[in-house]
Structure 1
Amino acid sequence: MSKAVRIHAHGGPEVLAYEDVEVGSPGPGQALVRHTAIGLNFLDTYYRSGLYPAPAGLPLTPGSEAAGIVVEVGEGVDWLNKGDRVAYTLPLGAYCEERLAPADRLVKLQQGISDEKAAAMMLKGMTAEYLLRRTYHVQPGDTILCHAAAGGVGLILGQWAKHLGATVIGTAGSAEKVTLAKAHGYDHVIDYREQDFVAQVKEITGGRLCNVVYDSVGKDTFPGSLDCLRPRGMFVSFGQSSGPIPPFNMGLLSQKGSLYATRPTLFTYIAAREDLEASAAALFDVVEKGVVDIQINQRYALKDVADAHRDLESRRTTGATVLLP
């Protein structure tokens, strides 16, 4: 038997049950992985609450990223061996001591990447990669705005965007978070609790506004995010920590300057094995070179995951958080 966190009914953090599960042996194309560290993401709370439906229904094991050791491989898996250090991001199933995973979704870890760092950055780091390099290709001289600048994705994105030559503006919700974001690549950070972020962006840019806005907040920052974009700028909505954006008339995009708007997801961008490998390689490269520093600011035992969810949802966390089996 192995331990896992499962949800039998949607609700608050109290529905996260730490219990015994049978894992089994890997089938064709699978690998059995023993986790050493598990990443915590706001996405996990969406599945827990029911905001995002569980593909296979209930009960479900949340969690989208982890690192660990290969224990056993199934038939047809000839590129992994017992003892290999691996990491992954998958839609569900990471909150556990051991799991069966599709081998083609596993990425071998390089010596310079620790298990905790890998677990903390696979989903968040590859999210930053596709946002900066593929959804909107950030170029030297661009001006970008990223909400939740002191969050897990925000801290990675700020450093990476600065390395790409952009002027990087962020928003954060406290003086402490403003300071943290400024230490991670941001040229300007706006405390949205004290200041009107739209007015501040206009002042910072001299009225020229931004090429792209990366928004994981949702309801609370819309439609203000659109007002931070220059004509033909791109609004990238990749999360909704404050709630979903309400339906709006597409004509609003033309009224505000022929804007582009997209709602991407990482799993589309890494669906092909070659895209997964390229995204992970780009992430590992900037981390190993010291361009991006992965900040693990909180650690919880897996059995205490409900406390981790409460702290995450109340915005008491910064940077990355890992769960330790």
Structure 2
Amino acid sequence: RRLVLMGYGSLERLQIENRPLKEPRQGEIRIKVENSGINFADMMARQGIYRINPKPPCVLGYEVSGIVESHGIGVTQPAIGTRVIGFCNNFGGWSEYALVPADLVFAMPENMSYEEGAALLVNYLTAYLLLFTFGHLQEGNTVLCHMAAGGVGHAVGQLCKTVPNVKLYGTCSTSKHEDAKAAGYKQLIDYKKSDYVKELLLLEPNGVDLVLDPLGGADSKKCYRLTKPFGKQIVYGVANAITGERRNVLRLAKTWASNAAAGKDPLALMNGNKMIGGVHLGTIMTEYYKDFAPKAVADILRWYNDGIIKPKIDSVHALEDFSDAFLRIHDRKNVGKVL
């Protein structure tokens, strides 16, 4: 069984189908899936607004946990029967079986649950890129992360603990503050009740060293305002474009227009002594993963074994309950990962 997107649009375009098993091709592994994750990339791809939109009918889903069931030509490891996590760099994870490049399949620690495994790769690889590969996080830095109680937000909180004396600020609803503080946030601002720009500038008058921006639209301009001289703003999403389970063309247009208005030409960046960059995990894991993934995953699994990180699971849903899973994210109710 697999969850198939029949066409771009609302949840009604998704349906469960039974299809014959496919054999792994050269360099692939077939995984019997125990759990798979849901990410904002999947939400955008479902509505046809993701940078990498697979053509329907198709199966979405970037990450899975499960058991190695068979090997394609040229693959011997991980051995058949091994508990693994896998990154589906061409989607395909929302299925009882998934075909994954062998280079993107990793043995799970013995004490890691399947739920934790399916919540690991997208969130923690994204956080790793933001903080270390692009952000060059250093001792004593200040960081702002929006959507602090989400999957990536929790990962950012935990990974910041690997660098001494990082001061981490975040935005999320008041009801989620306790969970976010447990992940490592020093100060949290409810963006629904307060002007987070004013609130943060009271605490850090010059701004912060690193601003992690998954919002897009008008918020990107605010993020630039909060980036201190010599600091970096790193964009890794446009969550403001997703406001419900149906595509809102007007909202999309406003978000893209605001993104353009928030852009800075090189001279403006020079005069402000700031940097703006972007991280897109989908393209990295499609085109550049051999240079990045092995060390990043090794570090993440080591930190897991050392007890420094632990994925936060919001909820686990059966395949047939996919609507409930999506709506938790659409309605911004999740605290951690939805599986």
Q: TM-score range by the shorter chain?
A: over 0.9
Q: What is the alpha-carbon distance in structure 1 between the residues aligned to residue 310 and residue 100 of structure 2? A: 28
For residues 222 and 26 of structure 1, the distance between their equivalents in structure 2, rounded to whole angstroms, comes to: 42
What does 1:50-129 align with in structure 2 at a 5 Å threshold? 50-52=48-50, 55-91=53-89, 92-129=91-128
CA distance in 2, matches of 1:304, 1:144: 37
* Aligned: 1:319 with 2:297: no
**Partner in structure 2 of residue 36 of structure 1:** 34
Amino acid at match of 1:167: K
Among candidates 278, 291, 303, match of residue 308 of structure 2: 291
**What secondary structure, in the 3-state scheme, does the structure 1 residue paired with 2:316 have?**
strand
Matched with 2:264 is 250
Aligned length: 318
| Superposition deviation, residue 24 in structure 1 | 2.0
The 8 Å contact of residues 85 and 109 in structure 1, kept in 2 or not, is answered as yes
The offset of 1:269, in angstroms, is 4.3
d(CA) in 1 for partners of 2:27, 2:180: 41
Q: Secondary structure at the match of 1:247?
A: helix
SS in 1 for 2:55: coil
TM-score where L is the length of structure 1: 0.92
Tell me, which stretches of 5 or more residues in structure 1 are unaligned? none
Letter in 2 for 1:179: E
Residue in structure 1 matched with residue 45 of structure 2 by the alignment = 47
Partner of 1:188: 187
Q: Which of 240-249 and 22-31 deviates more?
A: 240-249
Shift in CA distance, 224/54, structure 1 to aligned 2, threshold 3 Å: closer
Distance 1:169 1:272 in 2: 30
**Alpha-carbon separation, structure 2, partners of 1:132 and 1:55:** 27
Aligned-residue offset at 1:222: 2.2
SS in 2 for 1:60: coil
- The yes-or-no answer on 1:17 pairing with 2:34 is no
* TM-score, length basis structure 2: 0.89
Aligned-pair identity (%): 28
Distance 1:140 1:236 in 2: 19
Task: Give the letter for the 1:171 counterpart.
Answer: T
In the alignment, structure 1 residue 273 sits paired with structure 2 residue 290: yes
In the other structure, the counterpart of 1:140 is 139
1: CA distance, partners of 2:217 / 2:322: 26
Superposed displacement of residue 126, structure 1: 1.1
Q: Which amino acid aligns with 2:118?
A: A
Contact 1:107 1:277 in 2 (8 A): no
Residue equivalent to 2:168: 168
In structure 2, the gaps of 5 or more residues are: 242-254
Aligned to 1:259: 274
Q: Which has the higher helix share?
A: 2
Query: Which residue in 1 is equivalent to 2:252?
Result: none
Question: Conserved in 2, the CA contact under 8 Å of 1:217 and 1:241?
Answer: yes
Alignment partners' CA distance in 2, 1:221 and 1:256: 21
Mapped partners of 2:37, 2:153: distance in 1: 15
| CA apart distance, 1:257 | 1.6
Q: Is the 8 A contact 1:4 1:20 kept in 2?
A: yes
Q: Quickly say closer, same or farther: Cα 1:79–1:293, change in 2 above 3 A.
A: closer
Q: 1:225 aligns with which of 218, 223, 237?
A: 223
Using the TM superposition, give the Cα deviation of residue 297 of structure 1 relative to its aligned residue in structure 2, in angstroms.
1.8
Letter in 1 for 2:139: P
Q: How far does the alpha carbon of each residue in 1:273-319 deviate from its partner, in whole angstroms, 9 at most, with x for none?
A: 35211111111122222212211121111121122111211101111
